Amino acid sequence: MKNDVISPEFNEEGRVLRRIRSFVRRQGRLTKGQQHALDNYWPVMGVEFQAEPADFSEIFGREAPVTLEIGFGMGTSLVAMAQTNPQHNYLGIEVHSPGVGACLSTAHEAGVENLRVMCHDAVEVLENMIPDNSLNMVQLFFPDPWHKARHNKRRIVQVPFADLVKRKLKLGGVFHMATDWEPYAEHMLEVMSSIEGYKNQSESHDYVPRPDSRPVTKFEQRGHRLGHGVWDLMFERVK
């Protein structure tokens, strides 16, 4: 697995450009199990970044609806979804290698074959590798809310990003977001509601109840015990 999750860009003088990122690389130390998974299962389930459109039928070895999850953490819920829906293909993106290793290990133990993972900047992957009109669903669960006002520009859900996601979704495809930070939920709702071509699946035009397709994580269960709310947003591409 390559360790370059961000491809550098250069200005006319050849200097590296600094870009606003929605994540910070908190690598941490790999456990023996995570390292073992990277060494042994990445060659089977891992996908390296390439600056050209990918062929999903080649990546998965079959034709099937594709769900893309951005920032899958340790991969527990992603593996559960793939295991529950073997008729679908799942592609997960995560920039932290311990999470990638954990996801590979869990997927191997579960015998999941319809899951592939990447370790790269999701925006670059969307821009370069994901063909337009190719995804049935894009999932973004509990992204970093960047609480401080001066950091709000780092939030991944902004108009250009949501437009990019829409372009990659098939007509009728859904962008599903979830957050436990209400101000971020309000920000997501404002951004998504401003973009032509998306339809909010909420009957009340705000948030939807957690769908069965999104497993409840331990993180979320702990939040519920502490009285924290969770907000799900689902927007369908309609044009």
Rounded alpha-carbon distances, angstroms, from residue 30 to 3, 5, 17, 101, 111:
14, 17, 30, 8, 22
The residues pairing with 92 across neighbouring beta strands, listed in sequence order, are: 69, 117
CATH code for the domain in which residue 208 is found: 3.40.50.150
> For the CA atoms of the chain, what is the radius of gyration?
17
Strands 231-237, 169-179: parallel, antiparallel or unpaired by DSSP? antiparallel
In a domain, 162, yes or no: yes
The pLDDT of 67-76, averaged and rounded, is 96
Taking the C-alpha atoms of residue 160 and residue 22, their distance in angstroms, rounded to an integer, is: 13
> Considering the domain boundaries, does residue 133 fall inside one?
yes
Q: State yes or no: 148 annotated in a binding site.
A: yes
Domain assignment present for residue 135? The answer is yes
Answer with the residue of higher pLDDT: 122 or 152: 122
Annotated ligand binding at 235? The verdict is no
Which of the residues 39, 55, 132, 144 is marked catalytic? 144
Is 84 marked within a binding site?
A: no
H/E element holding 107? helix 97-110
| Burial of 36 (C-beta count, 10 Å sphere; 0-12/13-18/19+) | middle
Number of structural domains the chain divides into: 1
How many contiguous H segments (helices) and E segments (strands) does the chain have? 9, 7
| 206-233: pLDDT as tens digits | 999 999 999 998 778 877 888 889 999 9
Give the integer Cα–Cα distance in Å for 218 and 220.
5
Residue 151 structural domain: 46-237
4-23 pLDDT, tens digit per residue, is 776 555 456 555 444 555 54
Is residue 97 domain-resident? yes
**Active site annotation includes 144:** yes
